[in-house]
Structure 1
């Protein structure tokens, strides 16, 4: 392990790298110095730390953190990031709004303290120029490499204790616009300018114009496939797994799902089915659960209370195994599904994975194991430890956003969600089931109908920054215009503002439940 201490944008102390003399390379930026180290020591872990935090650096915990080679950690103990919160005007992802109290997936890297295997920087040396500003360099590396399979985190365990002093970073609008131009599509630069005008009554046109001279970095040939991943984390070798399936009106599809599970090379420990039918006097449609013999126990619950959130919570209260598979009643998959997924769980040391979930004839977009910005409640496997701290939010019942909300709850416990491109679960999108009995929503008789859906608004309020909410509002304003009847722009704007306020009102009411 090589330890690099820096101050005033220069390397001031180097430990365990005697072959490199600091004095001979004093002219180099920190990023350029690291590039030099990566050529000399490609198999070593590099830990960087600002000299002022030297006594707080938690060296004893480093080996445990770096359980495989495709990891990048950093931590800002002072409550602010180099790319400030206004990035939320154009970036809605959960990686932007960081929970600094837990291990949290993000591209918002920090020069204060961090670490990486130098083989990562060696692989990227020809793709990203060595910036003079170390913070900008780290953020750029993370933003570009996350979609390529580098797992990037804010990690409080890098330090022995939390800092009690706040050092707010002064907003730099030039840096913000440059970062957007270099890491997003160009149109986001103009949308960022518009959002500044709308919500801050500012018009930073000069930073915007300057940013247009920078080259976008997304068209790179970055490839991390040469870095072999094999986690040193050890989960239980038993790998017992329970499956939970909520279902409503899809008995034939569910039968096929059970048959697929019965063919698994690795059988589930048990399957928990929560069947819903809100019609008074209705009874189960799943006679085959008892009339046929299955190679695993099936716990079957029947309820007149409709709603997937409630059904999944009921099932979660009866889990027993180390791992839990959140499944749907219209999935199809191969006999090796569970075996293949557990191989990847062990390889990456991940307690939460979401499996590729294409519909028929859908074109796959992602081919690397990556940090996933969403969550699938019908195609995810989770270590039970994390499920003891979360549940599906019943305020989001019969709406949209419950999957995303559950994923954010998991992230806020310190669990990351990895997407597995292989194996695949085919999502049939069965034409029956779902909200067959249309629920009566509290706002459906409002003269002013809320926009967006109050459940979507509640998710935004609970899990995104104010800037992300306002950025979403701007995009929704333009997208919704062509879908509604009012074509007078001023009249549409007035009506949209009223709809947004009603959505906030109902989201607040839902959150009280």
Structure 2
């Protein structure tokens, strides 16, 4: 491991873990020194640390959380990142509002302290100019790398407790616009300009024009497959798996799912089925659960209370195994699904895994293992110990956004969600079962219906920044405005505001 200590935009010293001094060019920028070291020591992790934090660097424990070569970690205890809150105006992902109390997935990096393996830095940094602004360079490496499969995190364990606060450098609007131009599609610099104009009453015309002189890095052609991944973490012990399946009125589809589970090379221990039928006096129709012999234990709960959130929570409360497969009643998969899942968990040292989830004849668009911005409650695997403080939010029952919320709860408890494209589950999108009833929402009696759905607004208010919510509002406005006549603009605008405010009102009620 190589450690680079820096201060005042210059490298002070470079040492190995054995405290051996390593020579470097005193006139080079910090980024240039890192790139030089990456070529000189291609098999080593490279750590950067502000000089004021030298005695607080948790170097002895570094390998316990920097556990494979395709990672990039950083940490800054301050709430605002280098790029500032304005980055929320151009990105709606869960990677912007960072929980500084736990390991949290984000590409927002800091020059205060961090680590990346030389092999990753050589590949990604080699296509990026070694900027004199070290924070800009680090954020560019992580932003480009995350899309390509580099796993990036805010990691408080990089520093010992009670570490002193070093000076944080913050980007101005010129740097923010440049970053957006270099790492997003062109339309986002226009949207950033409009967001700042509308929501912050600023007119950043010069930063906007300045950004036009920079080349976009989003189209960088790189392949990180040459970097081997073999985690040193031990996340699997018993290899036991429970499967949870909420079901309602899909008897034959559920039977097919059970047949797929029965054919697995690595069998689950328990299959936990929560059957719902809201009709009064109804009984279970799943006679095959007891009439046939299955190579696993079936836990069957029948309830008159409909709702996927309640059903999944009931199922999760019955989990006994080390791992949980959140399945659905209209999925199909091959006999190596569970075996492959365990192999990938072992290789990457992950606690939450989500799969490719395609419908019949749907092309697969994403082919890179990376940090997922979504969570699928019908195609994900979670270590049971991660679920102690996590459940499906009943405020979102019969609405939208429960998957998003569940994924955000996991992230805010320190568990990232990794997408593996080679693990595939077919989603049949079966027709709704015959027992579903129209659920009356609290806002159904409103003369003007709220838009977006109050449950979506609820999720935004709960998990995203104000800038991200403002961006969502502006983008929604433009999408809807396309369908409206210019002559009706005033009426349309007033209606849009009323619907938005109603959504905000009911989200707060939820």
TM-score range normalised by the length of the shorter chain: over 0.9
Deviation at 1:18, TM superposition (A): 5.5
Structure 2 equivalent of residue 383 of structure 1: 383
Q: Distance in 2 between matches of 1:307 and 1:149?
A: 35
Q: Distance in 2 between matches of 1:320 and 1:53?
A: 43
C-alpha contact 2:2 2:45 (8 A) present in aligned 1:
yes
C-alpha contact 1:369 1:418 (8 A) present in aligned 2:
yes
Deviation at 1:438, TM superposition (A): 1.2
C-alpha contact 1:77 1:162 (8 A) present in aligned 2:
no
C-alpha contact 1:73 1:116 (8 A) present in aligned 2:
yes
1:446-465 deviations in whole A, cap 9, x for unaligned?
Answer: 01211100000000000000
User: Could you say what the CA RMSD is over the residues aligned between the two structures, in angstroms?
Assistant: 1.6
Is residue 73 of structure 1 aligned with residue 85 of structure 2? no
SS in 1 for 2:358: coil
Deviation at 1:165, TM superposition (A): 4.9
SS in 2 for 1:357: strand
Deviation at 1:307, TM superposition (A): 0.5
C-alpha contact 1:80 1:168 (8 A) present in aligned 2:
no
TM-score calculated relative to the size of structure 2:
0.97
C-alpha contact 2:352 2:415 (8 A) present in aligned 1:
yes
Structure 2 equivalent of residue 21 of structure 1: 23
C-alpha contact 1:79 1:166 (8 A) present in aligned 2:
no
Deviation at 1:77, TM superposition (A): 2.1
C-alpha contact 1:244 1:325 (8 A) present in aligned 2:
yes
Gaps of 5+ in 2: none
Structure 2 equivalent of residue 494 of structure 1: 494
Structure 1 equivalent of residue 143 of structure 2: 143
SS in 1 for 2:153: strand
Q: Distance in 1 between matches of 2:14 and 2:169?
A: 27
Deviation at 1:434, TM superposition (A): 9.2
| Higher deviation after alignment, 235-244 or 212-221 | 235-244
Written as runs of structure 1 = structure 2, the 5 A alignment for 1:18-417 is: 20-22=22-24, 25-163=25-163, 165=165, 169-170=169-170, 172-417=172-417
SS in 1 for 2:233: coil
After superposition, the Cα gap between the structure-2 partners of 1:144 and 1:301, relative to the gap in structure 1 and judged at 3 Å, is same
| Higher deviation after alignment, 169-178 or 59-68 | 169-178
C-alpha contact 2:235 2:345 (8 A) present in aligned 1:
no
C-alpha contact 1:90 1:192 (8 A) present in aligned 2:
yes
SS in 2 for 1:421: strand
Deviation at 1:389, TM superposition (A): 1.3
C-alpha contact 1:260 1:335 (8 A) present in aligned 2:
yes
Deviation at 1:204, TM superposition (A): 0.3
Structure 2 equivalent of residue 422 of structure 1: 422
C-alpha contact 1:181 1:216 (8 A) present in aligned 2:
yes
C-alpha contact 1:79 1:167 (8 A) present in aligned 2:
no
After superposition, the Cα gap between the structure-2 partners of 1:166 and 1:477, relative to the gap in structure 1 and judged at 3 Å, is farther
| Higher deviation after alignment, 73-82 or 144-153 | 73-82
C-alpha contact 2:53 2:164 (8 A) present in aligned 1:
no
Deviation at 1:487, TM superposition (A): 6.3
TM-score calculated relative to the size of structure 1:
0.96
1:115-135 deviations in whole A, cap 9, x for unaligned?
Answer: 111111122243111111110
| Higher deviation after alignment, 459-468 or 274-283 | 274-283
Deviation at 1:8, TM superposition (A): 0.9
After superposition, the Cα gap between the structure-2 partners of 1:486 and 1:178, relative to the gap in structure 1 and judged at 3 Å, is closer
C-alpha contact 1:107 1:153 (8 A) present in aligned 2:
yes
Q: Distance in 2 between matches of 1:449 and 1:162?
A: 50
SS in 2 for 1:115: strand
Gaps of 5+ in 1: none
Deviation at 1:164, TM superposition (A): 6.7
- Count of aligned pairs: 508
Q: Distance in 2 between matches of 1:19 and 1:167?
A: 26
